[in-house]
Amino acid sequence: MTEFRPFQPADTPWALFGLLFGAFYGAMFVLLIDFWGAGLILLTILAIPFIAVQVVLNIALDRFSKWRRAETPAPLPTAWLRHHSISIGAVIGAVAALALVLIGPAA
């Protein structure tokens, strides 16, 4: 299980950046799905080989980085909010964009 340290004031800029980036990412994802509609399914099917290559490279690079730092001490844990800020921001942005798409812009 991942250990987290208490949140410190120095984590604030990174957590805010992660939240904003995640909100943008989530909103753009929902808006692109709405814009492309059914065409996104075709693009997803075409992207499966690229996603597979990315997964394989991520696994390989993760194993390589663990092998390289086997003799160095483990990095210090990060704060929970800083660690999960992009994921939280993506959910917030996706929900906001979905509300915009379903309800429509405020008149």
Q: Which residues contact 2 (CB under 8 A, 6 or more apart)?
A: 77, 83
- Answer for the pair 74, 3: CB distance below 8 angstroms, yes or no: no
C-alpha torsion sign, points 8, 13, 17, 19: positive
Question: In 3D, which of 38, 39, 43, 29 has the Cα closest to residue 97?
Answer: 29
Q: Give the whole-angstrom CA distance, residue 46 versus residue 39.
A: 11
- The pTM score is 0.59
Please, what is the average pLDDT of the chain? 81
Quote the strand ranges of 18-101, DSSP E: none
pLDDT in tens, 14-65: 889 989 998 998 888 888 777 777 666 677 777 788 888 888 988 888 888 7
Give the residue extent of every domain in the chain: 12-68+79-103
pLDDT-derived band of residue 81, with 50, 70 and 90 as boundaries? confident
